Amino acid sequence: MMNYLNFIQNMGGGSIIVLFLIGILYFGLWLYCIVDVIRSDFRDPNMKLIWILILIFVQFIGSIIYLAVGKTTKATII
């Protein structure tokens, strides 16, 4: 156990833990967007494929764009 703690301290202390937590949060955001696209109905059937491709290839920026713009492209259910 002590060797592990010494390793973390030598790698920059808590910064490696902070980077790990940021990575987990990023992955959670990306996964949420992918699942939301798959479960949603869009006005244009091709939009689902387009959003999935954007989320896969542009990743972090694609997630932010989807959360800001993607809701307007969904079909409204009356």
Q: Has residue 46 been placed in a domain?
A: yes
* Structural domains in the chain (count): 1
Task: Examine the pLDDT at 52 and tell me if it is beyond 80.
Answer: yes
Residues 6 or more apart whose Cβ sits within 8 Å of residue 78: none
Q: Has residue 12 been placed in a domain?
A: yes
Q: How many residues does the chain have?
A: 78
For the chain, state the CA radius of gyration.
18
Task: Examine the pLDDT at 40 and tell me if it is beyond 90.
Answer: no
pTM above 0.95, yes or no: no
Q: Has residue 8 been placed in a domain?
A: yes
pLDDT band at 42 (very low <50, low <70, confident <90, very high): confident
pLDDT at residue 27, rounded to an integer: 94
Q: Has residue 48 been placed in a domain?
A: yes
pLDDT at residue 64, rounded to an integer: 92
Give CA–CA dist 70/6, Å, rounded: 45
Give CA–CA dist 32/63, Å, rounded: 9
Task: Calculate the CA dihedral of residues 64, 58, 38, 35 and round it to 10 degrees.
Answer: -60
Q: Has residue 47 been placed in a domain?
A: yes
Mean pLDDT to the nearest integer, 68-74: 81
